[in-house]
Amino acid sequence: MTARIKRWPGVELGAADLYEGKVTQTRFRPDAKYAWSAGEAMSRFLEELQRGRFIARTCTGCDRILFPPRMFCEACFRPTDEWRYIQDTGTIETFSISYLDRDAKRITDPILVGVVSLDGASPKMGLMHYFAEMTKEEIRIGMRVKAVWRPPEERRGSVLDVRYFRPLREGEG
Amino acid sequence: MRVGIIGVGMTAFRPSTPEYSWKELMFEAAARAYADAGVDPRTQVDSFVTCAEDYYEGFGIFDEFVPDQLGAALRPTCTVSGDGLHGLASAFMQIQTGLVSVAVVEAHSKASDIVTLEGVLEHGLDPIWTKPLGAHPYVLAGLEADAFLRATRTPRRALDAVVSKNRRNGLRNVRAAYGADVDEAQVASSPEAFSPLRRLDVSAPADGCVVLVLASEAAARRFRAEPVWLRGIGWSSESPSIGTREGPGAGYARDAAAMAYRLARIRRPAQEVQVAEVDDRFSFKELQHLEALGLAKAGDAGRRALKGDWALDGRLPVNPSGGSLGGGNVFEATGLRGTAEVALQLRGEADGHQVDGARVGIAQAWRFVPTATGAVAVLGVGR
Amino acid sequence: MIGAGMTLFRRRLQETPPELCYEAARMALDSAGLELSDIGAVVSGSAPDAFDGVHMKGEYYLDGCGGVGRPYMRVFTGGGTGVFSTIAGWWHVASGLFDAVLVVNEEKMSCCQPHPQSVFANIWDPILDRPLQPNLVWIFAMEMNRYMTVHGIKKEDIALVAVKNKRNAVGHPCAQLADPNITVDDVMRSEVMAWPVQRLDISPPSDGASAIVLASEEFIRRRRIKDRAWVSGVGWCIDSTMWTDRDLVFPEYVARAAKMAYKMARIDRPRKQIDFAEPYDPFDYKELHHLEGLLLADRGEAPTLTREGVTARDGDLPTCPSGGLLGVGNPIAATMGQKIGELFWQLTGQAGTRQIPHEVRTGVAQAWGDLMQYGSVVVMRA
């Protein structure tokens, strides 16, 4: 903007203004809770996780094995065809080394997180998850990894039934 | 240029849909609409418009979760934070620019996924002036109803007639969630809820999804010999604060209708409109809206309700589908459901609740408590 | 486009959401020499309601936007809203329904306590992603890593973008984060949040509002309005929700939106025919990622353009001459001020100390949003 405009609206406040009550304010905590029906695809996906397995759906229209599974193919716009188990090994597509924990607080021991594309599904079909049993110097795109499952009695039908993915060892997968 | 509706897809409207995720619900309605239109969304649709509000869905950016189940992945898609009719208006405008030939509009309700519906509605209240009062959001509807009944001298019994009509109409509509043989006496004796409103004056929530396929006249003719034309569309807002509005007369509906009628070249709506799906989520709103739409003279809608003018076999059937009282409150999908129902009426495909020979109809909706925002669509067949 | 306005962008502003809207709207009307009564319809763009703390916030603040007593509509495409609402405003006019339209974008992130970040907990898929309690920075980091690794790009080259934009912002009266002295070293030494993202790679949350006025050719001629720039092309595109199934190295959805806009604008050689660009830069690597998505640089080549000074304000393809989000601030939808607003001010010679020193006639603005899914593109000409 040019010298034509003289006034820039906006009154800046500092954190203290708000937290020390120097500015008139009103507070409210919304009561907003949801329980989403998982639907057919995700319900089966979660049941299988509890059994220690990854399951996908096939689409014969585009010849893909879709993971996470879905009841419709977004490329063909048609219902998907069959359930298909896939492996719990895969490849790291990308990752981050996070010094922020779940509550965005700083941590010194970083969390390794990223996307792993799973063997048995079509290329690039991935899942976001944690990585462990590797250092932040060792983690790299292209690393071959395998899921580490919680013991059966601890699984609840959640992506957290997998603790993390660890490097694939010689002779595995 | 003319814009036509070439595809209508609706799921049933039910109190809850536990077997479906919202994505699967949308997929079903979309699949129906595309089958009806004979259109392939992956290659023959230029634009997708969805209508949703984050807090009804439970997500921070609901827009993220819409494309795949509509066939919209890697296609021009957007979310309008409005009623389905606002989405319809957007698609209409897009087509009028010439940039888009075929557009899809979607709206749904998965209210059963909301555990704290009242909490979500309360969150829509003004944080400085209204929230601190701690009142239930429907108190605003009660206040408005009270003001409307007094200003128009509408007898309370007229509201009973609206509820009874729409619940019974719902029995004739396979898609309706709350069809029931409710008579006026039952409504009158239901407990007071938000005085002067009673429990049965308030529609209950329902799940469901509506998808419409629109096309320019040139494109429409390729799909359907006789599309239902979207002759006019209008939308308007009044002050968000109940304290600073002009009066209890749904000015937003009057202004939206003025725009829609102008585009549709309707000069005498009361004579020219043959069927209407009008927002009745609180019973008095049906009457208030009928007057604002010019379908009844000011103060007269209630008297005519008691006379039976708005019944399925009346002079101007209103909410033959059962509306929201009979069909369920489907939140942002309300106006789009009304549009779909009117389109089916004009096609002669309204099965058990058909209004014979209807050639011009309107669909109208409001954005619910606490707003004074609404929209109107005028549909017609033939020239 | 005949007018624009924006408020200061700051971490916390005192004005309520309707007040922010009013300030920006009033400025835009004044700059176009119009009154609200000249306006046929109002469009608003705003991102998550949870920031302002009101369900259906578009209804709540509509009076500040000038929406009372007229057709009013809100659109919301995540971070894409900063450019997308202009597109919605465009179709209001280009459809022939309205002569003059006001577009008002607003974001008040500071209401959200303890920190606006917490809203981003709710953008994730509840079954696939949320249980991992992801931080928003994670996905940016993952995309940045993929982009860097596939193309072999060094962090230092990416940091050059943060340096350029924060320095460019020194000329912007509303800027929250302008810094005339920032260096690549400063960026490289800033704390690592989620590698490879460091603190100075990102734009933090802001409060602010911006507004523009769009009018038909007829209206402009009738009113003899001199300061105007033409919307020549619009495009928008969303990619699949399943972001873990996509290769994040290239924003295909931005490319499709750009192609749609370029087709309408009759641009077939974007690098030659576009004079300057305002791509969305909430993170420094995003400017590069988006330059490639906008087909203004070959894949993996955008860092070279930056290193060679091509994207500097006096370069061959000035990019983010406004200072972008990195320099001016990131009140999500209100960034329309730096993206669309900047195109207008540059094309009408009103950009003051930010004015590109050579003549520019065609500019492109782009925004990005949702789960790395959304691209909205507008081409404007003098």
Q: Which residues of C touch B81 (CB under 8 A)?
A: 56, 58, 74-76
Q: What is the CATH number of domain B117-204+232-380?
A: 3.40.47.10
Inter-chain residue contact A159 with C132, CB threshold 8 Å: yes
Cα A137 vs. chain centroid, distance in angstroms?
22
How many Cα neighbours within 13 Å face the side chain of C79?
22
**Any domain includes C121:** no
Q: How far is CA A18 from the centre of its chain?
A: 34
- Between strands C276-278 and C362-369, the pairing is parallel
pLDDT value for A173: 67
Q: What is the pLDDT of residues B216-233, one digit of tens each?
A: 999 999 998 889 999 999
Interface of B with C in 129-148 (CB under 8 A): none
**Minimal C-alpha gap between C371 and chain B (Å):** 6
Between chains, do B55 and A32 touch, taking CB under 8 Å as contact?
yes
- Mutation pick from C206, C245, C253, C353 vs chain A, by most beta carbons of A within 10 Å, is C245
pLDDT band at A6 (very low <50, low <70, confident <90, very high): confident
For CA atoms C46, C49, C50, C53, give the dihedral sign. positive
Least CB-CB distance to C56: which of B90, B96, B371? B371
Question: What was the pLDDT predicted at B247?
Answer: 84
Q: Decide the pairing of beta strands C374-381 and C362-369.
A: antiparallel
Is C141–A98 a contact, with Cβ atoms under 8 angstroms apart?
A: yes
Tell me chain A's radius of gyration from C-alpha atoms: 23
Mean pLDDT value of segment B87-95? 98
Confidence of residue A7 (pLDDT cuts 50, 70, 90): confident
**Rg for chain C (alpha carbons), in Å?**
19
Q: CB under 8 Å to A75, separation ≥6 — which residues?
A: A59, A61, A62, A64, B42, B73
Ranges under pLDDT 70 in chain C: none
Chains in touch with A (3+ beta-carbon pairs under 8 Å) read B, C
The HSE-up count of residue C211 (CA atoms within 13 Å, CB side) is 31
Residues of B whose CB is below 8 A from C92: 93
Q: Report whether C252 contacts C239 (CB < 8 A).
A: yes
Cβ–Cβ gap A5/C15 under 8 Å: no
B89 touches chain C (CB under 8 A): yes
Task: Identify whether C187 is part of a domain.
Answer: no
Residue with tokens 């931005």: C254
* CB-CB under 8 Å, C62 with B237: yes
- Burial class, C77, CB count within 10 angstroms (exposed 0-12 / middle 13-18 / buried 19+): buried
CB within 8 Å: B81 and C62: no
Q: Has residue C158 been placed in a domain?
A: no
| CB-based contact C142 A23, cutoff 8 Å | no
Q: What is the pLDDT of residue A172?
A: 84
Q: What percent of chain A has pLDDT over 90?
A: 88
Residue A4 pLDDT greater than 80, yes or no: no
Distance CA C237, CA C140 (A): 20
| Residues on chain A touching B18 (C-beta within 8 angstroms) | 37
Q: Is the pTM of this model over 0.90?
A: yes
pLDDT beyond 60 at A2: no
* Average pLDDT of every residue of chain B: 97
* Tokens standing for residue C151: 């193309």
- Whether C300 and chain B come into contact, CB under 8 Å, resolves to no
pLDDT at position A104 is 75
In CATH, the number for domain B3-115+206-223 is 3.40.47.10
Residue A133 DSSP label = S
Predicted confidence (pLDDT) per residue in B269-303, tens digit = 999 999 999 999 999 999 999 999 999 999 999 99
* Rounded Cα gap, residues A147 and A115, in angstroms: 12
Of the candidates C301, C367, C357, which has an alpha carbon nearest to the alpha carbon of residue C330? Answer: C367
Chain C residues in contact with B241 by the CB 8 A cut-off are: 63
- Token code pair at residue B65: 């979760």
- Whether residue A40 and residue B18 make contact (CB cut-off 8 A), yes or no, is no
Which two tokens mark C133? 């309690």
Contact B20 A39 (CB under 8 A): yes
Question: What b-and-e string marks burial along A66-104, b requiring 16 or more CB atoms within 10 Å of the CB?
Answer: bbbbbbbbbbbbbebeeebebebbbbbbbbbbbbbeeeb
Neighbours of chain C (3+ CB pairs under 8 A): A, B
User: How far, in Å, CA of B202 to CA of B200, rounded?
Assistant: 5
Looking at residue B52, its pLDDT comes to 97
CB contact under 8 A, C208 and A136: no
**What pLDDT is recorded for position C198?**
97
What is the distance between the alpha carbons of residues C319 and C283, in angstroms, rounded to a whole number? 14
Q: How far apart are CA B234 and CA B362, in angstroms?
A: 11
C 280-339 → A contacts, CB under 8 A = none
Rounded to the nearest angstrom, the minimum Cα separation between C350 and chain A is: 5
> C264 at the B interface (CB within 8 A)?
yes
Alpha carbons A102 and B36: distance in angstroms, whole number: 47
- Chain B residue nearest residue C130, CA to CA: B59
- pLDDT tens for C192-227 read 999 999 999 999 899 999 999 999 999 999 999 999
Where helices occur in chain B by DSSP H, the ranges are 22-37, 41-44, 54-57, 84-96, 117-122, 139-152, 156-171, 184-188, 217-223, 251-264, 269-272, 283-292, 301-307, 323-327, 334-347
Number of H helices, E strands in chain B: 15, 11
Are C268 and C291 in contact by the 8 Å Cβ rule? The answer is: no
- DSSP-H helix ranges across A31-155: 39-50
Over residues A138-167, mean pLDDT: 98
Between CA C208 and CA C109 the distance in angstroms is: 9
Cβ–Cβ < 8 Å for B11, B25: yes
| Chain C residues with beta carbon closer than 8 angstroms to that of B67 | 238-241, 373
SS3 assignment, position A85: strand
| Amino acid at residue number C278 | E
Under DSSP, is residue A155 helix (H, G, I), strand (E, B) or coil?
coil
SS (H, E, C) B359-370: CEEEEEEECCCC
Looking at the structure of chain C, the number of domains it has is 1
Nearest CA in chain B to C120: B60
| C69 with B255: Cβ contact below 8 A | yes
Which residue out of C135, C283, C285 would a mutagenesis test of the A interface target, given it has the greatest number of A Cβ atoms within 10 Å? Answer: C135
Whether C185 is in a domain gets the answer: no
**CATH number of the CATH domain containing C251:** 3.40.47.10
Is the bond preceding residue B196 a cis peptide, omega within 30 degrees?
Answer: yes
Q: How far apart are CA B184 and CA C74, in angstroms?
A: 40
CB atoms within 10 A of CB A138: 11
Secondary structure (3-state) at A159 = helix
| Interface contact B113-A72, CB threshold 8 A | no
Residue of B nearest to A76 (CA): B42
Q: Who's near A64: CB < 8 A, 6+ residues apart?
A: A58, A73, A75, A122, A125
- Separation between Cα atoms, residue B372 and residue C73, nearest integer Å: 13
Residue B161 has pLDDT above 60, yes or no: yes
**Worst-scoring range by mean pLDDT, B240-244, B342-346, B360-364, C266-270?**
B240-244
**What confidence score (pLDDT) does residue A105 get?**
84
Domain region containing C290: 3-114+203-381
Are the Cβ atoms of C8 and A12 closer than 8 angstroms? Answer: yes
A46–C145 C-beta distance less than 8 A: no
CA C40 – CA C207 distance, rounded (Å): 28
The domains of chain B are located at 3-115+206-223, 117-204+232-380
CB pairs under 8 A between B and C: 181
Q: How far away is chain B from the Cα of A162, in angstroms, using its nearest Cα?
A: 23
Residues of B in contact with A38 (CB under 8 A): 21
Tens-digit pLDDT profile for residues A101-128: 877 789 999 999 999 999 999 999 999 9
Candidates C218, C271, C229; CA nearest to C93 is C218
- B119 chain-A contacts, CB cut-off 8 A: 30-33
| pLDDT score, position C14 | 96
The structure tokens 């071959």 sit at A144
Domains B3-115+206-223 and B117-204+232-380 share a fold: yes
CB C160 within 8 A of CB C200: no
Lowest pLDDT segment from A16-20, B254-258, C96-100: A16-20
**Looking at CA atoms only, how far is residue B245 from chain C in angstroms?**
10
Query: Could you give the 3-state DSSP secondary structure of residue C372?
Result: coil
Does ipTM come in above 0.90? yes
B94: chain C residues, CB-CB within 8 Å: 91, 95
Inspect the interface and report whether the beta carbons of A12 and C345 lie closer than 8 Å. no
In angstroms, the separation between the Cα of residue A31 and the nearest Cα of chain B is 5
- Count the neighbouring beta carbons within 10 Å of the beta carbon of residue A8: 15
Residue C351 lies in a domain: yes
Q: Which of A24, A36, A59, A77 to probe by mutation at the B interface, max B CB count within 10 Å? A: A77
pLDDT of B92:
98
Assess whether pLDDT exceeds 80 at residue A3.
no
Q: Which of C55, C112, C195 should one mutate to test binding to chain A, selecting the residue with the greatest count of A CBs within 10 A?
A: C195
Residue C247 main-chain phi, psi, to 5 deg: -85, 115
Q: Is residue C125 part of a domain?
A: no
Q: Rounded mean pLDDT of B148-156?
A: 97
CA C122-C128-C129 angle, to 5 degrees, is 45
Element (H, E) at B376: strand B373-380
Q: Average pLDDT for residues A64-69, to the nearest whole number?
A: 97
Chains in contact with chain B (at least 3 beta-carbon pairs closer than 8 A) = A, C
